[in-house]
Amino acid sequence: MEYSNPKMIEEDYKRVWAECLEVIKDTLGPENKKAFDTWFVPIVPLQLDGSTLIVQVPSPFFYEWIEDHYIDLLKRVIRMQLGPNGMLKYSIVMDQTIPTEPLKTTLPSHNNRHTVQNPMSDLPVNINKDNTREIPNPFVIPGIQKTRINSQLSPNYTLENFVEGDCNRLARSAGYAVAEKPGTTSFNPLLLHSNVGLGKTHLANAIGLKTKELHPDKVVLYVTSEQFMAQYAEAGRTGTTNDFIHFYEQIDVLIIDDIQFWSGKGQKTQEAFFHIFNHLHQRNCQIIITSDKAPGELQGLEPRLISRLKWGLNADLQAPDVETRKAILRQKLQNDGIEMSDEVIEYIAYNINTNVRELEGALISLIAQSSLNRKQITLELTKQMIDKYVQSSTREITIDYIQKVVCDSLDLPVESIQQTSRKREIVQARQLSMYFAKKITKSSLAVIGMQCGNKDHATVLHACKQIENLRQTDRYIRNLVDELEKKFKEC
Ligand code: ADP
Ligand code: MG
């Protein structure tokens, strides 16, 4: 290879890079000082080979990032320094504290060398994969090997207690296959999607646990997308972005929960994840992602990230049918050592059909009710409980809520509705609550009366008429009703 400048000798590599840095710093300007410090200061010049400058960068991610963002600038400064044939070659090591002297150690020539084409120089990039080091990260117990990373997995969400049904068969068996052979099935990434409360978090967590059970040497990590984003932001603030990236690049099975959280925000986070994704995927590490939408419907996520999500298997979880709901209830009861008659289980399973979280919620409320009141869980008690539960969980505006809003706007404590007082403002609060309960909820006059101070249906009817009349004749009431109406519409 030719020297573009005959006077240039090999030891000049430091000076060449220092001059490159000067130009880069000037070009980026003071407003980009942070970017300069993050992406250029950590680069270590290693050697000058003809008109090729060899520099060491801390990670594959780092390399991809600067190639993505600063290729033109780098090309320009290198050619300014080394002439038109000037080239840049990267040496990528996992250890930032690598000595700069023996090139052999940073550019291994044996088999464990991982090469990537560098679009700028057409030269291979060397990645020394073995040269790992400990990386400070909130998940790592300081000073301990990478296998001690806290997986953040919940021990309760196992595959064994994830009840199988038609609604989840594909996802569950794909999950099992992934746990058996993480990273090497075609289910990589594995994307689990469904509406809320249908078991995405449970299943993703269960795959993580099963993987650890079958492959204790694998490093598994569960994070929510929100946590990931917060960590990334924190790393940016404290100048530890490289540590963050290194940390994630060590993971064998990475589970990211609720990726839709990034929609329309966290562009930088998405970019960082994209690079980590590529790195892990290339190394046959497993990526498991959950989302409340199918990839095609995930708006506000970077298109190239969405296209990656489509690479592997997309498995959706449907709402369970009644048989699966019964099986889930039985299993929860068995886990808690509680007995319940079949008719009670059936009643719950038939009446709560929205999602599994609600099903569990109803069951827990029922158990709590029965133990607080020291009552047997009879069908009668179940019916009372579940009817109330279904009412309040499926309807957004409840009578209780109406009473609260009315009393707040009149500056009264909500309990006053239940008092027998004939004081004008309390009577008014009660009448207004009845009026809106009749208008907004589907409750019968009797139920409304009962909940609003234990009155009968005739009192409710009278209250409704009374408010209608006052609305026509009393400006204060008209304004009050209009204002309340507006509030309820906003709910
Ligand atoms: P999502 O993440 O989809 O919102 P979760 O995984 O949090 O839903 O599930 C909600 C609750 O329902 C959890 O307590 C979970 O254990 C339970 N659950 C969901 N699906 C099943 C299932 N197939 N078998 C047993 N429990 C389930
Ligand atoms: Mg979830």
Q: Is residue 141 part of a domain?
A: no
Global pTM? 0.58
Note whether 86 and 201 are same-domain residues: no
Both 308 and 335 in one domain: the answer is: no
**Domain final residue, candidates 257, 284, 316:** 316
Is 357 a domain residue? yes
> How far away, in angstroms, is 198 Cα from ligand 2 center?
8
Mean pLDDT of 384-409: 76
CATH of the domain at 62: 3.30.300.180
Q: Region 347-371: what's the mean pLDDT?
A: 89
Give me ligand 1 centre to Cα 325, in Å. 11
Closest ligand (CA of 293) = 1
Domain end position, chosen among 390, 413, 442? 390
Give a yes or no: residue 112 inside a domain: no
Residue 12 domain-assigned (yes or no): yes
Looking at all shown ligands, the one closest to residue 164's CA atom is 1
Among 37-51, 166-180, 301-315, 445-459, the range scoring the smallest mean pLDDT is 37-51
Domain extent at residue 232: 169-316
pLDDT tens, 88-115?
888 776 433 333 332 222 222 333 333 3
The response to whether residue 196 sits with its C-beta less than 6 Å from ligand 1 reads yes
Confirm whether 145 is domain-assigned.
no
Atom 18 in ligand 1: residue holding the nearest Cα: 199
The Cα-based distances of 24 to 18, 20, 29, 237, 300 in angstroms read: 10, 6, 8, 22, 33
Domain end residue (candidates: 316, 333, 351): 316
- Establish whether residue 58 lines the binding site of ligand 1, counting it when its CB lies within 6 angstroms of any ligand atom: no
For ligand 1, say whether the CB of 91 is within 6 Å of any of its atoms: no
Query: Does residue 265 sit in the same domain as residue 403?
Result: no
Residues with CB under 5 A from ligand 2 (ion): 200-201
- Residue 329 domain flag: yes
CATH number of the structural domain spanning residue 195 = 3.40.50.300
| Model confidence pLDDT, tens digit, residues 337-347 | 888 999 899 88
Q: Is 168 in the pocket of ligand 1 (CB under 6 A)?
A: yes
Region of poorest pLDDT, from 68-77, 146-155, 427-436: 146-155
Q: Is 105 exposed, middle or buried (0-12, 13-18, 19+ CB in 10 A)?
A: middle
Q: How far is the CA of 255 from the centre of ligand 1 (A)?
A: 16
Quick one: 192 and 289 in the same domain? yes
Q: Which atom of ligand 1 is nearest to the CA of 167?
A: 23
Q: Say whether both 287 and 341 belong to one domain.
A: no
Work out how many domains the chain is built from and give that number.
4
Ligand nearest to the CA of 157: 1
Is there a single domain that holds both residue 366 and residue 409?
A: no
Closest ligand 1 atom number to CA of residue 204? 6
Select the highest-mean-pLDDT range: 113-117, 197-201, 416-420.
Answer: 197-201
pLDDT in tens, 234-266: 999 999 999 899 899 999 999 999 999 999 888
Give the SS3 label for residue 363.
helix
- 199 lies in the same domain as 329: no
pLDDT of residue 38: 80
CATH of the domain at 369: 1.10.8.60
Ligand nearest to the CA of 319: 1
- Do 246 and 289 fall within a single domain? yes
* One domain for residues 334 and 276: no
